[in-house]
Amino acid sequence: MLRIILMVLSLLIMIGTHIAANLIPLNGLTTWEIANRVPVLFMPAEYVFSIWIVLDLLLVSWLYMFFKTVARLSSSVANLRATSFSVSCFLNIAWLLLLGHR
């Protein structure tokens, strides 16, 4: 039960950080504004950054399927998946926060 709570909280905090990075500019800049600061030859259109919505929905569906099948997994495999998932969520949060840091 604890691993399920940890995974759900990790995912919710990560999605909240994605939303905050675009609605409430972290360090005064949105993710799009940060991307525009770096001179590159090719920059995708702003709507392309909406891929995060699709990825977050896929993570929610993966988490749902994990909950349905966790009873069939050994305890060590379930713990490894839960730990890996939570660590990846918090690394994603750290990436967003460090991206906005000047």
- Structure confidence at residue 60 as a pLDDT band (50, 70, 90): very high
Pairwise CA distance, residues 21 & 32, whole Å: 9
102 pLDDT above the threshold of 70: no
pLDDT at 92: 93
Contact at 8 Å (CB) between 96 and 26? yes
For the segment 35-57, what is each residue's pLDDT rounded down to a tens digit? 777 787 877 777 777 788 899 99
pLDDT at 64: 94
18 pLDDT above the threshold of 80: yes
Q: Domain extents for the chain? A: 2-100
Contact at 8 Å (CB) between 10 and 81? no
**pTM confidence score:** 0.81
Rg over alpha carbons for the chain, rounded to the nearest Å, is 16
